């Protein structure tokens, strides 16, 4: 049976057009390999499309969308939709997420694949959502002992009520200059460097235009930005050499990344001491392993004052960071195939786990009481009946004799066999 891969790109994001470049690149690199490739474009309004035209990036220029077939993914099958009729295109074996930013990289595509029972070759829902949020990223890094720059989180609702207090906290804890950025955006969108209070107020207002949560972070003087990517192949984590992108600005801008030469600029490998490079690569491997990542990711770091700071994790890096692993795109197909195979293996491992199927809520016992019904609060309506011990226990590891299965229902092995229940 032929295998089919759906490559998702676009998304309800400010980075939709950048995702188109990544997605069409991945589709064409995979074409001609062992997988049948189906491009799936998600427009900024959430509409989903497929079709042969989506292989060509030129199809996305202008406002006309010729050859874009309305589509949906249902029950693991990709359909084209015309009016009230739909036609099955292919049963999808595995999905590759190339959506940058919110509505894709944040776990939305991972959730779509999970609900449809389709293997995912990209990071899962939990890791995607966590690393999309720069504030949560810092919490996770701190838990793993990974150094990050001092920062202060500002929610839009809190700032509206206590803006002066937030400004004072930022000034006292971080000082100037300070970097202000939306917590859940990428590609340097909405990022500013503030030198004083007036600039800080402007930067916060501008950042709130893109997100309800903003991160203020200490600006590192004489900073150097270092990138390092990783993926898993054959059960082993492969880590790229370090790269140092260049910029003439105080921070990397959208233009630096995409319109002024794009990816692959700067020094590769980065001209940094070997001990620093190995420390960065070791941190990337640590984050990949401990956060149970999957697929291709890219971690961004900052160097300054003799220290290495973890900045953020891109779970869907631009053009999937091919330039950090291969000399040309021809060699990138083997990387993508390894990622797809790992996604299928992970899915098979999870699919082999037991699913405890419910037999429905057991009926109340005659007389309104008994083991099938929970105690009623004084003067209140009866609570729904509790699940039967028989329906809950059989697929769990056998407990020790007299061991509690849960706080409200204690079942011993002998009583399971005899079909008895007792309250704890």
Q: Give the pLDDT score at 62.
A: 79
Residue 79, class by beta-carbon neighbours within 10 Å (0-12 exposed, 13-18 middle, 19+ buried)?
buried
DSSP conformational letter for 257: I
Q: Can you give the pTM of this predicted structure? A: 0.82
Cα 213 from Cα 133, distance rounded (Å): 9
Contact indicator for 242, 190 with CB cutoff of 8 Å: no
Q: Pairing mode, if any, of strands 178-182 and 192-194? A: antiparallel
Q: State which fold the 3-123 domain adopts.
A: Rossmann fold (3.40.50)
Q: What confidence tens digit (pLDDT) does each residue in 139-181 have? A: 999 999 999 999 999 999 999 999 999 999 999 999 999 999 9
pLDDT of res. 361:
75
Max CA separation in the chain (angstroms): 80
Sheet containing 307-314: give its strands across.
236-239, 224-233, 297-304, 307-314
Q: What is the pLDDT of residue 418?
A: 45
Topology (CATH level 3) of domain 151-218: Dna Ligase; domain 1 (3.30.1490)
With b for 16 or more beta-carbon neighbours within 10 A and e for fewer, the 158-188 pattern comes to: ebeeeeeebbeebbeebeebbbbbbbbbbbb
What does the domain layout of the chain look like in residue ranges? 3-123, 151-218, 222-351, 389-423
CA-CA distance, 171 to 165, in Å (whole number)? Answer: 10
Q: What's 398's DSSP letter?
A: P
Low-confidence ranges of the chain (pLDDT < 70): 187, 248-265, 359, 365-424
pLDDT of res. 255 = 58
Q: Using alpha carbons only, what angle is made at residue 54 by residues 50 and 58, rounded to the nearest 5 degrees?
A: 155
Q: Rounded to whole angstroms, how far apart are CA atoms 258 and 397? A: 53
- CA separation, residue 362 to residues 106, 112, 389, 409, 421 (Å): 39, 32, 11, 15, 14
CATH architecture of 222-351: 2-Layer Sandwich (3.30)
């Amino acid at each position: 049976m032929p295998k089919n891969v759906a490559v998702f790109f676009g998304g309800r994001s400010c980075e939709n057009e950048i995702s188109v470049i990544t997605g069409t690149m991945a589709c064409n690199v995979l074409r001609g390999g062992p997988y049948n490739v189906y491009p799936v474009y998600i427009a900024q309004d959430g509409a989903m499309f497929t079709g042969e035209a989506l292989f060509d990036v030129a199809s996305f220029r202008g406002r006309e969308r010729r050859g874009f077939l309305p589509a949906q993914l249902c029950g693991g099958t990709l359909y084209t939709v015309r009016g009230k009729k739909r036609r099955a295109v292919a049963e999808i074996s595995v999905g590759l997420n190339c959506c940058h930013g919110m509505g894709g990289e944040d776990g939305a595509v991972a959730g779509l694949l999970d609900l449809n029972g389709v293997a995912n070759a990209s990071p899962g829902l939990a890791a995607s959502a966590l690393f999309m949020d720069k504030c949560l990223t810092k919490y996770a890094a701190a838990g793993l002992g990974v150094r990050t720059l001092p920062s202060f989180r500002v929610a839009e609702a809190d700032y509206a009520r206590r803006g002066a207090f937030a400004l004072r906290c930022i000034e006292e804890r971080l000082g100037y200059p300070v970097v202000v950025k939306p917590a859940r955006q990428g590609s340097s969108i909405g990022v500013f460097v503030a030198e004083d209070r007036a600039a800080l107020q402007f930067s916060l207002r501008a950042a709130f235009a893109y997100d309800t949560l903003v991160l203020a972070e200490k600006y590192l003087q004489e900073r150097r930005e270092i990138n390092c990517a990783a993926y898993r192949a054959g059960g082993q984590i492969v880590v790229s050499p370090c790269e140092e992108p260049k910029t003439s600005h105080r921070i990397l801008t959208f233009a630096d990344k995409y319109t002024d030469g794009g990816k692959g600029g700067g020094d590769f490998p980065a001209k940094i001491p070997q001990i620093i490079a190995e420390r960065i690569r070791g941190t990337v491997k640590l984050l990949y392993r401990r956060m149970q990542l999957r697929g291709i990711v890219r971690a961004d770091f900052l160097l300054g004052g003799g220290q290495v700071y973890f900045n953020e994790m891109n779970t869907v890096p631009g053009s999937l960071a091919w330039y950090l692993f291969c000399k040309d795109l021809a060699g990138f197909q083997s990387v993508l195939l390894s990622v797809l195979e790992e996604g299928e293996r992970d899915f098979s491992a999870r699919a082999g786990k037991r699913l405890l199927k419910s037999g429905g809520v057991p009926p109340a016992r005659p007389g309104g009481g008994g083991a099938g019904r929970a105690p009623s609060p004084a003067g209140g309506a009866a609570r729904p009946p509790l699940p039967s011990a028989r329906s809950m226990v059989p697929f769990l590891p056998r407990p020790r004799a007299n061991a509690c299965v849960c706080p409200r229902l204690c079942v011993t092995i002998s009583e399971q066999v005899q079909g008895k229940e007792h309250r704890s």
